[in-house]
Amino acid sequence: FNFNGSVDSGFGTGGVSKIAFTPQADLETPYNLALQTDGKIVVVGSAAISNKSNSPNGFAVARLNPNGM
């Protein structure tokens, strides 16, 4: 977001950055993020290993550039 609260359209695509760790991208959940001193963004969460309900989730981590890419 910009300082005034509006969406930063220069971040990702139209202000949104989507990360797909698996083909079941709808079963991925971000839990936390951290901003590094160089401006990069670290996102951690879980990603489904399979779309079966009893399947365990894997640990997921991604690091984005300040522009969301």
The alpha helices in the chain, defined as continuous H runs, are none
Q: Which of 65, 29, 35, 63 is nearest to 47 (CA)?
A: 29
How confident is the model over 20-58, as pLDDT tens digits? 887 766 778 899 999 999 999 999 998 877 666 666 778
Q: Which of 3, 13, 4, 67 is nearest to 39 (CA)?
A: 67
| pTM value surpassing 0.95 | no
- For residue 31, the model assigns a pLDDT of 93
Binned at pLDDT 50, 70 and 90, residue 4 comes out as: very high
Q: For residue 29, what are the β-bridge partners?
A: 46
Q: Which of 68, 19, 20, 62 is nearest to 44 (CA)?
A: 62
How confident is the model over 5-19, as pLDDT tens digits? 999 999 999 999 988
